[in-house]
Amino acid sequence: MQKNLVIVESPAKAKTIEKFLGEDYKVLSSYGHIRDLKKKDFSIDVEKGFEPTYEIPSDKKKLVGELKAAAKNADMVWLPMRTVREKPFRGIYMKCWNWTRRGQSVLYSTR
């Protein structure tokens, strides 16, 4: 079991970051966004303050299962995101799914 799991968006970024962090860290990629607004229905509930309704695309369900399993087996889950490009959304929705109670979002900037 890895002590720390880091989930980033890019597989190339995952490989690079894992080289720097050492053996106490496992770095996985979400391969981009792992949820979208529903495509078949109107995904915004106007009566509930314009609350969006999301779904996991069918091509991402296996990956989401793998990420959830890895998160449950880690002591700490880190969700780094660039403030300029990714905003905090990816980390927020991963935390909202309660994959783990041991999660931490980390914002960083390359400027």
Question: Which residues are within 8 A (CB) of 96 and not within 5 positions of it... i.e. 6 or more apart?
Answer: none
Query: 27: closest CA among 62, 92, 74?
Result: 74
Global pTM reads: 0.72
Q: Is the pLDDT of residue 51 over 90?
A: no
Confidence grade of residue 62 (pLDDT, cut at 50, 70, 90): very high
Contact between 104 and 79 (Cβ < 8 Å): yes
Q: Is the pLDDT of residue 26 over 90?
A: yes
